[in-house]
Amino acid sequence: MTTPTLRTAPSTRSWITSVFVVFTLMGLVMATWLGRIPSVRDSLHASTFEMGMLVLGMAVGSIAGLTFAGHIVAKLGARRGVQVAAVCLAAGMVFAGLAVTLGWGFVAIWIALIAFGFGNGLCDVSMNVSGAAAEKAGGRTIMPLFHAAFSVGTLAGAGLGALTEALDVPVVWHFTVLVVVTSGAMLVAVTRFGDEHRFGEHTATDTSPVPTQVTRWQVWAQPSTILIGVIVLGMALAEGSANDWLPLAMIDGHGLGNAAGSAVLTVFLAAMTVGRVAGSPLIDRFGRVPVLRASAAVAVVGLGLLIFVPSVPVAIVGVVLWGLGASLGFPMGMSAAADDPRSAALRVSAVATIGYMAFLAGPPLIGFLGEHVGLLHALLVVFAFIIAAGLASGAARERGAAARPATPVGEERDGGAPRLQDDTTDAANTTDTADTAESAHSGHTARTAGGTSGGRDSR
C-alpha cells in the first residue's frame, strides 16, 4: 500500500509565493504595453478602427497560446509553460518597441503583438493551473489574491506608462529594459513551482475504479464549460475593454490629455486590485454565484456613469465602480474551471479560449463602432456581455469538494491524524449528466489529494 507524499509547509509557501510573483510580473508586462498605446497611436497616426485592428493582433496570438497551452501544461506542466511564455513575451515586446520607435509601421507592430499575445495566452493558463493547485496545497482560498497580484502589476505598469508618456521616454527603451528584467525574474520564480499533476493522481489505497481521463473534446462538450466560458467572456470584455480603450475614451470623450488618460487607466486598475483583495472573504461567505451577480450589477452602473455623465469627476467614480465590478469575474471563472484537478489544464484552456474571444472580437468591434458613434457610446456593447455573464453565473457554483469547508493538509480533525482524504463521496448536482459524472470523479480525486481548501471555494 502506498500513500501520497505531501509537500511540507515551507515548500508549499514557496510555491504560493512564486505564483504570486509570476502573476504580478505578468500584470506588469501587460500594462507596459497598454500604458504606451497613446504613443503607439501617435507614431502610426492611426484611426480608432486601426488601433482596434492592431490590438486584434495580440488577441490572435493569445488564442493561439491558449490553444497550445492545454496540451503543454497537461503534458509538460505549468512550469514549462511559463518558461516558454516568458521567452515569447520578451521577444514580442522588444520587437514591438523597435517597430514603434524606428517607424517600421503597422504590420511590424502587429506581428510583434502576435508573439507577445502567444506568450500571454500560454502564461495565463499555466499560472492559473499552478495557482489553483497551489491553493489546494495551501488549504485556503487565495485565487482572487493571485489575480489581485496581477492587478498590482498592471497598476505599477500603468503608472510607469503614464510617467514615461509624460517624460516622452522612447518606447523601445521602456519596453526593452522592463521586459528583460521581468522575463528573467519569471524564469527564476517558476523554479519553485510545485507539481500540479499530483492532485489528479489515483492512489493505491483507494479501492474505487480509476477514473477515465477527460479528453479535450469531452471538456468542450460539457454545457457547464460553455456557460463558465460565457462568464469569463463577459467579464474579460469588461476588463479588457477598459485596458484597450479607457485612456483613449477619456481623451476623445472627456477631453483629457495623453498622460491624464493613461492615469485614469491607473485608477481603474487600482479599483480592480482593491476588488480582488477584498473578494476572497466575500466569496467564502456568500459563494461564487451571488458575488458574480453583484459584480455584474456594479460594473454596469459604473460603465453607465462613464458613458452618460459628461462630468469628469463623476466619470472617474464610474471608472472605480467599473473596476470593482469587473475584478472578480475572471478569477472566479478560472477557479470554477479548475474544480476538477484531472481536467484542470484542458478546462481552463477551453474556458480561457472562450474568454479571450473578448480580446479577439472586442477591439475591432468597439473600434468600428467608435468610428461611427464615438468611443464612449461604443462601450455600450460591453453592457450586453456583462449582463450575459451575470445570467450565466449559476454555472460557477461550487461543486463536489469545493462546495463545503475542508481541512488543510496536515491539520488534525477530531483529534485524529492529519486528514488525507474525506470519509464521504459527494456527487454534486450539476446542469448536465456529463458534468455530474465528472464532478463525482473530480470530487473523489480532490479529496484523495487532501481536500485542501478553505471556506466554500476550493478552486
The pLDDT of residue 215 is 60
Grid cell 475591432 in the structure block, residue: 364
Helix (H, G, I), strand (E, B) or coil at 217: helix
Written as nine digits, the cell of 37 is 498605446
DSSP string, 329-362: HHHHHHHHHTSSGGGHHHHHHHHHHHHTHHHHHH
- With beta carbons less than 8 A apart as the criterion, state whether 169 and 262 touch: no
**End-to-end Cα distance, the chain:** 29
Written as nine digits, the cell of 208 is 474505487
Please list the ranges in the chain whose pLDDT falls under 70.
Answer: 1-10, 197-218, 221, 340-344, 359-360, 399-459
Interacting residues of 192 by C-beta distance below 8 A, sequence separation 6+: 14, 15, 17, 18
Query: 71-107 in b/e burial notation, b at 16+ Cβ within 10 A?
Result: ebbbeebbbbbbbbbbebbbbbbbbbbbbbbeeeeee
Q: Which amino acid is at 144?
A: P
Helix (H, G, I), strand (E, B) or coil at 168: coil
Written as nine digits, the cell of 212 is 477515465
pLDDT in tens, 290-303: 898 899 899 989 99
Distance set, CA 156 to CA 178, 292, 326 (Å): 12, 26, 19
Grid cell 462613464 in the structure block, residue: 306
DSSP letter, residue 406: -
For residues 330 and 292, what is the distance between their CA atoms, to the nearest angstrom? Answer: 10
Give kind and range of the element (H or E) at residue 167.
helix 143-167
Helix (H, G, I), strand (E, B) or coil at 412: strand
279 C-beta neighbours (distance < 10 Å), count: 23
For residues 28 and 263, what is the distance between their CA atoms, to the nearest angstrom? Answer: 15
The pLDDT of residue 371 is 79
Written as nine digits, the cell of 15 is 510555491
Q: Which amino acid is at 233?
A: L
* Phi, psi for residue 48 in degrees, rounded to 5: -60, -40
Grid cell 496536515 in the structure block, residue: 410
For residues 96 and 317, what is the distance between their CA atoms, to the nearest angstrom? Answer: 34
The pLDDT of residue 214 is 57
Whole-model pTM over 0.85: no
* Phi, psi for residue 412 in degrees, rounded to 5: -80, 145
- With beta carbons less than 8 A apart as the criterion, state whether 450 and 421 touch: yes
- Crossing angle of helices 329-337 and 223-254, in 10° steps, is 160
